[in-house]
Amino acid sequence: MTSYPIRLFGDPVLKQRAREVEELDGSLAGIVDTMYDTMYEAIGLGLAAPQVGVQKRLFTYDVGEGATVIVNPEIVETSGEFAYEEGCLSVPGLKFEIVRPKVVTLRGIDLDGKEVVVEGDEVLARVFLHEVDHLDGVLLLDRLEPAVRKQALRAIRDQDLVAAARHPDGPAL
């Protein structure tokens, strides 16, 4: 089993917009396999390609129904509200209650280029929103109220993120 190191807060790759995938080839399939291994090893419910330094618009996820990848995902519809203690593999050791839509419809393609449309509710919806944010260079910290964000940045400064990443305290995205 091979895995990628997960890029942590402060790494510029996490602040960039990833590019659309134009070719679905064997090398992409290899990247996805390694992302699956990386996601499970890190106890992730989802993992976006930029989190492993790959600047492509795709993410993997598994909320209990098997490993899945979505390429060039787009959020096409959202509804409702859902409060969830959100954690990020790139900001290990910290969780924040964030309110976001409860139901999210996502459209993208699979590794064969076939269109997929998936409706996610609650945790799956959160995974979709969180991972698409990663593809746009947005971190969960950017979704916090300014005062909470300030506090969070202070907490991150005082925290050894590399050590925290080694000891996950539950699933993150």
| 173 scored as a contact of Ni ion (CB under 5 A) | yes
Is the CB of 21 or the CB of 88 nearer to Ni ion? Answer: 88
Is the CB of 116 or the CB of 138 nearer to Ni ion? Answer: 138
Active site includes 22?
no
| 129 scored as a contact of Ni ion (CB under 5 A) | no
Write down the catalytic residue from 20, 74, 119, 131.
Answer: 131
In 42-169, alpha helices (H): 123-135, 146-157, 161-166
- How far apart are the C-alpha atoms of 60 and 33, rounded to whole Å? 9
Q: Which two tokens stand for residue 118?
A: 């998936």
| 8 scored as a contact of Ni ion (CB under 5 A) | no
Pair 18, 55: CB distance under 8 Å: yes
Is the CB of 47 or the CB of 71 nearer to Ni ion? Answer: 47
87, 117, 81, 121: which is closest to 101 by C-alpha? Answer: 81
| 88 scored as a contact of Ni ion (CB under 5 A) | yes
- List, by residue number, the catalytic residues: 131
Point out which residues bind Ni ion (CB under 5 A): 88, 173
